[in-house]
Structure formats: structure tokens, C-alpha cells
Amino acid sequence: MGDLQYWDETLASEVASTRSLIATFSSKRDELQKAALLDNVERQIRAVNGTVRSYKMECRLLNDPNERKTYENKLKRHERDLKELSIQVQDYRQEISRGELFVNANRGGNPEEDGDVMLAEASKLQDKTQDSLNRTKNLVGEAKSVGLETMEELKRQRDQISRIDEEAQKMEGNLARADKLIKTFGRRMATDRFIQCFACVNVFLLVGVIVYIVIMKQKHPDANPLQPMAPTNPVRRLLRGLVGLNPDDSNGENEPY
């Protein structure tokens, strides 16, 4: 905002200064002074065009569309004023050329020679105008070439951006598939862990049974550790205790069940 205000005030001041400088043209009596004044004005107009380019760049950087539109309208008015000043300078140039032509024509001498001189001066003036038109055509042709090159470059960049967008979409699809594969792999790993844990529990149980059999073999070599022991009759044990017998002395051969 502040930069645009600065460029707007600077451009308005430069246009006003150029207009004031052109206004002094009528006060100049000598043709050389007039030509020098116009040369100075043209240099100043070129400087003002540089300010216009800076103004345009700042307008493009402005984010607010309403403010950008306001400053663009101001810029158009400044450009219109600058164009009018340039046309005025060209008119003064032609006035100087016509004055030189008529001054040469009003000199004393042979009218036929004076006519030849006028035609020669007019031919020179026409040649200068033609040269100016040729330069303008060349500039227009160069601008057209630059525009075509810029358009081709923009087209190439647009195609490149399209390819980048397609690659980004492909990468997004690949990432989605990779995410699904990772989730599937995680579920499979969880299932495999469950199976591994179940297998480990079975191994531990088998090892426990083997250890139990070994310990029972050491304590009771004649007994079968896998055969369930017969339950002891509590009444029989009580009677043996009353008669003074050791309940553990019975081998259980005739023990009732």
C-alpha cells in the first residue's frame, strides 16, 4: 500500500514536471533552443516510462483486488496524460521541421532553385519520417516475436505443470495403495504373533508335562505318573487309626472303593 502510494505520487509529479517543461516551448524563439528543449522532454518521458513500469510491477504484487483496481485506474490516467505529452512533442518536432522548410523557401534567389531546395528538404523530411516508421515497424516486429516466444514459453510451462500434476496424482495413488498394504501387513503380523504365542504356550505345556513325568519318576520309580491314583477311603483310614495301624501301611490291594 505504501509503495504504491509512493509510485503514484512520484508518477504524478513527473508527469506534471514534463507538462510544465513542454509549456515553455512557445517562449523559445530560437529553433535550436526549441530542439534542445524537445530533446530534454523526450529524455524525461523515457524516465517517466521507467516509473510506469515500476508502478505496474507494484500493482501486480498487491493482494487486495479492490485496491489493485483503484491503482490500475490511476495508472491508466497517468499513461493517458503521458501519451498526450508524447504526441505534443511529436507535433512540435513537425512544426520545427516545417519552419526550417519554409525558411529555406523564403530565401532570395532563383525560384526554380528554391523549389528544388524545398523539394529536397521535403524529401529529407519524408525520408526521416519513413525511417522513423521503419524503426517503429521493426520495434513492433520485435515485440511480436517476443510475445510469440513468451506465449510458447508459457505453453511449455503449462504442459510441464500439467505433467507435474499428473505425477503428483500418481504419487498420491501410490501412497494410498502403500498405506493399504501397510495396514494389511500389520493385520497379518498381528495374526502371526497370535499363532506364535499359541505355539509357545503349547511348547511350554509340553515341557511342563515332561518335567512333571521326570520328577514323578524320581519320587516314585515303580509308579506310573500318567495313571491316576485311586482315591483313598476316609472311613477306612479312620478305622485304621482307631486300631493303631498306620493308614499308609496298606498297599490298597483290597481297599474298597
Q: E strand or H helix at 98, and its extent?
A: helix 65-105
More confident residue, 171 or 58: 171
Contact indicator for 104, 121 with CB cutoff of 8 Å: yes
Cα separation, 174 vs 180, whole angstroms: 10
Please tell me the distance from the alpha carbon of residue 172 to that of residue 36, in angstroms, as a whole number.
Answer: 68
pLDDT of residue 164: 92
User: What is residue 137's predicted lDDT score, i.e. its pLDDT?
Assistant: 78
The model's pLDDT over 69-107, given as tens digits with 9 standing for 90+, comes to: 888 888 888 888 888 888 888 888 887 776 665 555 555
Q: Which sign does the torsion angle of CA 10, 15, 18, 20 carry?
A: negative
- Distance, CA of 218 to CA of 107 (rounded, Å): 152
Q: What is the pLDDT of residues 109-134, one digit of tens each?
A: 455 565 666 667 667 767 777 777 77
Answer whether 0.85 is exceeded by the pTM: no
d(CA 167, CA 233): 86
Instruction: Determine the average pLDDT of the residues in 222-239.
Output: 54
How many angstroms separate the first and last alpha carbons of the chain? Answer: 109
pLDDT at position 256 is: 43
Confidence of residue 226 (pLDDT cuts 50, 70, 90): low
- Could you tell me if 88 and 34 are in contact, meaning their C-beta atoms sit under 8 angstroms apart? no
Position 237 pLDDT exceeds 60: no
HSE, side-chain direction, 13 A CA sphere, residue 12: 10
CA distances from 76 to 22, 64, 125, 188, 238 (A): 21, 18, 33, 70, 125
pLDDT for residue 230 is more than 70: no
- Collapsing DSSP states into helix, strand and coil, what is residue 231? coil
62 CB-near residues (< 8 Å, 6+ apart): 1, 4, 68, 71
Q: In the numeric block, which cell numbers belong to residue 257? A: 472303593
Q: Is 197 helix (H, G, I), strand (E, B) or coil?
A: helix
